[in-house]
């Protein structure tokens, strides 16, 4: 029996979450410290997994497989390769920094961390999953705590609406995908939900063309694909900071990853058939998301729509169905996750102090919170795809891949880079520089060390990948090769 | 009918029913011996008695490999009957525990005796293989339930509930009995298995058979509160004493399904296609009507009533699939639904005791008034909504899987779309519990020990069976296989 590293990563959060429920509700300090211990263990284990993955050998590693519901050929089956390992690491990072950022939550912190940790287990479980049933199981676990987290601790104005909208959108998507999954299971006739076995099921082309949209778009709802992206900015804005980080940073990747894992990898012929539609929709995501972001006056909505735009790039990368595009999409998922977590952390810090997110009413925050300003600018540079930052490493291959398949799409999508630069510059200029409005004079308290640690960790990762891409790029490329081996061609 | 080949093994087969009858008599005797103020232990006596019966049933009443038709073909002692027996006795035991804390009924021996008798009737329903026996079993179940629904004599709503239940029940029973009489007239048989054989040979007109089937279906649809025979349920659920509401919405419904499954698989294979289409339409209507009407409810018992209508619809999907997997998924669905709904009603009772209200709006601030009660409610509601790792998810998964396997893909889609509507109103309730504040936030809600026990038991089972469903589902598969 090998060391169950992935199981430890998957089940540490929920163990701590349940443990927290037995704490006395008033003992906030003990609750926070315990939460931080749990998050640190999960992060430590995922970092360990990331660096002990044998790149030379590639393929799925740290595999564990235990029969779960044998009647249906369902097993608990986890393993990571170049595609999902970075995402496991991402979840660890966002969870850890999310706990740091949420230190100040005073309303029922016990329940907050418990729900957040249940959510984290769901996310880890999906990323590590090699069994289709298990993937659905954890996927739903990741969806419902979101509702409570946003509805209870979110922004009072829109939280009820946004939480319900988000939950229903995601649930609709996932149950439609579930029917698709069941159709695959019975069509394969192998009495197995094991995705590694289903890969070789040899579904007929007609079957793949019929069911691919159900599965792919069902999951892509959570990836924020146009025109069902609408839940995402509302959800981001209404959520409390740590949940926005999770939400935009990790949850949207969950949708994108599941569309890839179940849609493209199990139904490759369907993917080829439907790729033009995905390209078209994702292009709308990229350009339209960027345009909408640039006219928002609410700081958080800017970031919310920028997520829609950037997730479009991930989907574009998938739809190229070639090595460059796929690799870029893989790196973009990680890079965007860290970047957007950083953005939302910054927005949260500004909002907690200024109590407004209206960009015209803000200004001059760089003088009061220099580290926050630097962190945001780093995130901004990543977002624009500036060389030297992780965004470049991710977006460049995507555009290369696009150029090989659809040069026109590449040109249209590239417009978004200019628009992104525009709105990021505007936000930086308005919020962090310029005059500090008189109403904030002397009222802005500095951020604490935990916040600083979170910002530094996130920013450091973005720069590290930017200047030293071989820490991630070859790994993701090996994962992308495995995907393309199934798709064939290219 | 002949009783000549009577064997001691037969006693073991009907042991649960004999013991239940014994328990009812014991309760009535004990009731006579004590003064009113000393009788609050009756609920526990019933619960413990039922638990003992449950254990005895598990240990000694297992179906043997021999001919399952016993007592001259009156009963069929097989795995489905055995499975339903266990589930039903469990539901009765929990109901007895839930009744302990309610002042008007906790010291009433006849209440518990009627509960036990109704349970006996349900057990017989699950095993009946003869039209006469079936009708008697249904009436043995229904009549005590009519009385129990109207048990709170001082409460107009309860009286209304009992009367309504009785009137609806009597009419549908009559229609069903008419159907039975036609079946007997057409075939000259009352045993449902021989009757099926006679129909196959007899080359009867499908129209005639279909019409008869519809008459019989009326009675069964009433029992499971399937649309369009669900109209009684919200009023009856709202007015009845809450433990009885819980009992009617779980055990009585499961017993109705037990009958429906057996009857349908035995009697109507000849007209399979039309029969499944009727059931498919009924399932669609039941789910959709239940869920849509639940959206507008402001009373928690009425909400759960419509939700229970909707759940009957989901379970019907498994029956439409008409396969071993489908039947197993129905059995599994019902067993887990019982568990979940009992937990939900337990919370409703505890809250009503402390706050004196069944309005959803008054649940505001519950998460501050009692975090653990809210957590139990969260688990029950999300399980009803079909969220993992709770048991409602796997139960729905099996049902939808059965539908897809048998090619009823549109029905599976109807099911999942309904699940979304369902999730919406369960979340709306949870929103009130977790999000809204009330002026009584600091007014803690005490959870009596008996309820804490029942809630902890159900919640743990919901999570445990939800994550490790394999052995339980295999049991259901086992039960289903003996019907094919």
- B6 pLDDT above the threshold of 70: no
Residue B112, SS3?
Answer: helix
Same domain (yes/no): B199, B290: no
Within 10 A of B356 (CB to CB), how many other CB atoms are there?
A: 8
B369-402 pLDDT, tens digit per residue, is: 888 899 999 999 999 998 888 999 999 999 999 9
Range of the domain at B353: 268-484
Same domain (yes/no): B228, B374: no
Q: Do B427 and A108 touch (CB under 8 A)?
A: no
How many domains is chain B built from?
2
CB proximity list for B143: less than 8 A, separation 6 or greater? none
The more confidently predicted of residues A338 and A232 is A338
Region B322-337 average pLDDT: 91
Closest CA to A237 of A189, A298, A289: A298
Q: Do A151 and B435 touch (CB under 8 A)?
A: yes
B247-287 pLDDT, tens digit per residue, is: 999 999 999 999 999 888 887 665 666 778 888 999 999 99
Q: Do A171 and B420 touch (CB under 8 A)?
A: yes
Probe site for chain A from B416, B437, B473 (most A CB atoms < 10 A): B416
Same domain (yes/no): B259, B408: no
- A490 pLDDT above the threshold of 50: no
Confidence (pLDDT) at A449: 87
Confidence (pLDDT) at B145: 94
Same domain (yes/no): B444, B365: yes
E strands of B216-319, at which residues?
Answer: none
Last residue of a domain, one of B265, B297, B315: B265
Q: How far is A207 from chain B (nearest CA, A)?
A: 14
Confidence (pLDDT) at B270: 59
Region A283-293 average pLDDT: 90
| A489 pLDDT tier (thresholds 50, 70, 90) | low
Share of chain A above pLDDT 70, in %: 99
Region B216-245 average pLDDT: 90
CB proximity list for B157: less than 8 A, separation 6 or greater? B238, B239
Two tokens, residue A43: 């992060």
E strands of A21-126, at which residues?
Answer: 61-69, 74-80
Same domain (yes/no): B228, B87: yes
Probe site for chain A from B326, B387, B388, B416 (most A CB atoms < 10 A): B388
Q: Do B416 and A144 touch (CB under 8 A)?
A: no
CA-CA distance, B310 to A39, in Å (whole number)?
Answer: 40
Sign of CA dihedral B229, B234, B238, B241: positive
Two tokens, residue B447: 């959870």
Probe site for chain B from A10, A118, A125, A178 (most B CB atoms < 10 A): A178
Q: How far is B407 from chain A (nearest CA, A)?
A: 9
Same domain (yes/no): B229, B368: no
Same domain (yes/no): B303, B364: yes
Q: Do B400 and A179 touch (CB under 8 A)?
A: yes
A164-222 pLDDT, tens digit per residue, is: 888 888 888 888 999 999 999 988 888 888 888 888 888 888 999 999 999 999 999 88
Last residue of a domain, one of B236, B265, B294: B265
Alpha helices in B4-108 (DSSP H): 8-13, 15-33, 42-60, 79-99, 103-106
Q: Do B412 and A72 touch (CB under 8 A)?
A: no
Q: Do A69 and B473 touch (CB under 8 A)?
A: yes
Instruction: Collect all residues of chain A within an 8 Å Cβ-Cβ radius of residue B427.
Output: 147, 164, 167
Confidence (pLDDT) at B482: 80
A438-448 pLDDT, tens digit per residue, is: 777 777 788 88
- A24 pLDDT above the threshold of 70: yes
Same domain (yes/no): B293, B417: yes
For B252, which DSSP code?
I
B53-64 pLDDT, tens digit per residue, is: 999 998 888 887
For B34, which DSSP code?
S
Instruction: Collect all residues of chain A within an 8 Å Cβ-Cβ radius of residue B433.
Output: none
Within 10 A of B11 (CB to CB), how many other CB atoms are there?
A: 13
Residue among B419, B424, B431 whose CB faces A160 most closely = B431
What is the CA B438 to chain-centroid distance, rounded? Answer: 35
What is the CA A420 to chain-centroid distance, rounded? Answer: 19
Q: Do B434 and A70 touch (CB under 8 A)?
A: no
- In this structure, are residues A340 and A310 in contact, taking their beta carbons and an 8 Å threshold? yes
Same domain (yes/no): B204, B281: no
β pairing state of B69-70 and A74-80: unpaired
Radius of gyration of chain A (CA): 21
Residue among B389, B416, B417 whose CB faces A178 most closely = B416
Probe site for chain B from A21, A71, A176 (most B CB atoms < 10 A): A71
B89-132 pLDDT, tens digit per residue, is: 999 999 999 998 788 888 888 999 999 999 999 999 999 989 99
Same domain (yes/no): B347, B442: yes
| A72 pLDDT tier (thresholds 50, 70, 90) | confident
Q: Do B420 and A147 touch (CB under 8 A)?
A: no
Q: Do A179 and B473 touch (CB under 8 A)?
A: no
Q: Do B427 and A179 touch (CB under 8 A)?
A: no
Region A260-278 average pLDDT: 90
- B200 pLDDT above the threshold of 80: no
Confidence (pLDDT) at A142: 87
CA-CA distance, B252 to B275, in Å (whole number)?
Answer: 23
Last residue of a domain, one of B239, B265, B291: B265
Residue B76, SS3?
Answer: strand
Confidence (pLDDT) at B271: 61
- B11 pLDDT above the threshold of 90: no
- In this structure, are residues A123 and A91 in contact, taking their beta carbons and an 8 Å threshold? yes
Instruction: Collect all residues of chain A within an 8 Å Cβ-Cβ radius of residue B474.
Output: 71
CB proximity list for A376: less than 8 A, separation 6 or greater? A342, A343, A346, A427, A428, A431, A432
B140-149 pLDDT, tens digit per residue, is: 999 999 999 9
Q: Which residue of B has its CA nearest to A73?
A: B470
| B5 pLDDT tier (thresholds 50, 70, 90) | low
Region A129-136 average pLDDT: 92
Cα–Cα–Cα angle for B441, B446, B451, nearest 5°? Answer: 130
- The answer to whether A183 contacts chain B (CB < 8 Å) is yes
Share of chain B above pLDDT 70, in %: 97
Q: Do B413 and A71 touch (CB under 8 A)?
A: no
- B3 pLDDT above the threshold of 60: no
CB proximity list for B285: less than 8 A, separation 6 or greater? B226, B227, B228, B313
User: B148 pairs with which residues across the strands?
Assistant: none
Two tokens, residue A349: 């810090």
- B437 pLDDT above the threshold of 50: yes
Sign of CA dihedral A270, A271, A272, A273: positive
CB proximity list for B406: less than 8 A, separation 6 or greater? B320, B321, B322, B323, B326
Same domain (yes/no): B375, B398: yes
- The answer to whether A179 contacts chain B (CB < 8 Å) is yes
Using H for helix, E for strand and C for coil, what is the string for A256-304? HHHHHHHHHHHCHHHHHHHHHHHHHHHHHHHHHHHHHHHHCCEHHHHHH
Same domain (yes/no): B104, B196: yes
Region B312-329 average pLDDT: 91
């Amino acid at each position: 029996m090998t060391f169950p590293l992935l199981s430890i990563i998957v089940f540490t959060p929920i163990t701590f979450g349940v443990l927290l429920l037995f704490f006395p509700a008033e003992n906030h300090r003990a609750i926070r410290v315990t939460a931080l211990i749990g998050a640190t263990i999960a992060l430590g284990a995922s970092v360990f997994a990331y660096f002990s993955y044998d790149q030379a050998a590639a393929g799925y590693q740290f595999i564990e497989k235990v029969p779960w519901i044998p009647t249906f050929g369902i097993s608990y089956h986890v393993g990571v390769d170049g595609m999902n390992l970075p995402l496991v690491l991402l979840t660890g990072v966002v969870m850890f920094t999310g706990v740091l950022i949420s230190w100040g939550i005073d309303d029922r912190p016990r329940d907050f961390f418990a729900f957040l940790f249940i959510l984290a287990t769901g996310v880890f479980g999906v990323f590590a999953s090699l069994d289709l049933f298990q993937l659905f199981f954890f996927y739903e676990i990741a969806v419902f705590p979101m509702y409570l987290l946003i509805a209870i601790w979110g922004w009072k104005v829109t939280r009820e609406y946004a939480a319900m909208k988000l939950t229903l959108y995601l649930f609709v998507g996932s149950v439609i995908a579930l029917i698709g999954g069941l159709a695959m299971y019975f069509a394969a006739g192998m009495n197995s939900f094991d995705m590694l076995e289903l890969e070789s099921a040899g579904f007929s082309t007609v079957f793949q063309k019929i069911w691919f949209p159900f599965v792919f778009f069902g999951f892509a709802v959570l990836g924020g694909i146009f025109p069902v992206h609408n839940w995402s900015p509302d959800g981001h804005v209404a959520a409390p900071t740590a949940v926005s980080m999770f939400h935009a940073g990790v949850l949207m990747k969950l949708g994108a990853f599941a569309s890839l894992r179940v849609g493209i990898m199990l139904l490759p012929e369907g993917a080829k058939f439907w790729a033009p539609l995905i390209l078209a929709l994702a292009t709308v995501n990229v350009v339209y998301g960027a345009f909408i972001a640039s006219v928002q006056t609410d700081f958080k909505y800017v970031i919310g729509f920028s997520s829609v735009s950037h997730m479009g790039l991930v989907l574009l990368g998938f739809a190229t169905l070639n090595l460059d595009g796929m690799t870029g999409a893989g790196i973009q998922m990680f890079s965007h996750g860290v970047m957007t977590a950083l953005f939302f952390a910054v927005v949260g810090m500004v909002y907690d102090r200024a109590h407004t997110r209206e960009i015209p009413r803000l200004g001059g925050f760089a003088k009061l919170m220099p580290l926050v300003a630097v962190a945001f600018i780093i995130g901004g540079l990543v977002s624009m795809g500036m060389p030297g930052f992780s965004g470049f490493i991710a977006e460049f291959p995507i555009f290369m891949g696009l150029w090989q398949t659809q040069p026109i799409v590449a040109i249209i999508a590239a417009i978004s880079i200019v628009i992104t630069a525009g709105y990021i510059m505007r936000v930086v200029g308005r919020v962090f520089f310029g005059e500090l409005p008189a109403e904030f004079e002397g009222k802005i308290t500095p951020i604490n060390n935990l916040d600083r640690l979170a910002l530094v960790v996130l920013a450091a990762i973005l720069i590290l990948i930017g200047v030293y891409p071989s820490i991630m790029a070859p790994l993701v490329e090996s994962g992308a090769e495995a995907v393309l081996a199934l798709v064939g061609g290219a | 009918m002949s009783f000549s080949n009577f064997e001691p093994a037969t006693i073991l087969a009907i042991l649960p029913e004999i013991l239940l009858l014994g328990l009812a008599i014991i309760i009535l005797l004990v009731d006579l011996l004590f003064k009113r103020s000393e009788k609050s232990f009756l609920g526990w006596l019933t619960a413990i008695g039922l638990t003992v019966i449950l254990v005895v049933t598990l240990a000694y009443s297992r179906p043997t490999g021999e001919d399952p038709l016993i007592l001259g073909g009156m009963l069929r002692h097989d795995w489905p009957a055995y499975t339903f027996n266990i589930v039903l006795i469990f539901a009765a035991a929990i109901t007895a525990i839930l009744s302990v804390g309610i002042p008007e009924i906790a010291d009433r021996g006849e209440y518990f005796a009627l509960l036990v008798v109704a349970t006996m009737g349900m057990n017989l329903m699950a095993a009946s293989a003869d039209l006469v026996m079936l009708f008697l079993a249904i009436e043995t179940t229904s009549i005590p339930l009519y009385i129990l629904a109207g048990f709170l004599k001082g409460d107009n709503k309860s009286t209304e509930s009992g009367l309504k239940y009785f009137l609806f029940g009597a009419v549908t029973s009559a229609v069903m009995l008419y159907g039975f009489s036609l079946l007997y007239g057409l075939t000259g048989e009352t045993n449902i298995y021989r009757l099926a054989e006679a129909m196959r040979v007899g080359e009867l007109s499908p129209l005639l058979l279909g019409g008869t089937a519809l008459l019989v279906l009326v009675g069964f649809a009433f029992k499971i509160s399937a649309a369009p025979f669900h109209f009684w349920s919200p009023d009856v659920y709202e007015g009845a004493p809450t433990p009885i509401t819980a009992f009617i919405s779980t055990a009585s419904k499961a017993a109705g399904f037990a009958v429906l499954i057996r009857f349908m698989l035995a009697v109507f294979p000849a007209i399979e296609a039309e029969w499944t289409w009727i059931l498919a339409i009924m399932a669609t209507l039941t789910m959709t009507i239940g869920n849509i009407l639940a959206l507008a409810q402001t009373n928690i018992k009425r909400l759960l009533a419509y939700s229970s209508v909707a759940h009957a619809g989901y379970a019907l999907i498994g029956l439409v699939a008409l396969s071993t997997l489908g039947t197993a998924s129905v059995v599994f669905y019902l067993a887990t639904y019982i568990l979940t709904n009992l937990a939900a009603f337990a919370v409703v009772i505890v809250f009503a005791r402390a706050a004196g209200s069944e309005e959803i709006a008054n649940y505001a601030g519950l998460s501050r008034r009692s975090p653990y009660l809210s957590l139990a409610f969260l688990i029950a509601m999300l399980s009803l909504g079909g969220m993992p790792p709770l048991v409602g998810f796997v139960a729905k998964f099996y049902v939808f899987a059965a539908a897809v396997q048998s090619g009823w893909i549109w029905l599976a889609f109807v099911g999942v779309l309904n699940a979304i509507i369902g999730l919406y109103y369960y979340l709306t309730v949870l929103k009130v519990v977790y999000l809204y504040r009330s002026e009584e936030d600091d007014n803690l809600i005490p959870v009596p020990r008996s309820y804490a026990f029942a809630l902890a038991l159900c919640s743990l089972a919901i999570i445990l069976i939800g994550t490790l469903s394999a052995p339980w589902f295999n049991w259901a598969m086992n039960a289903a296989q003996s019907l094919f």
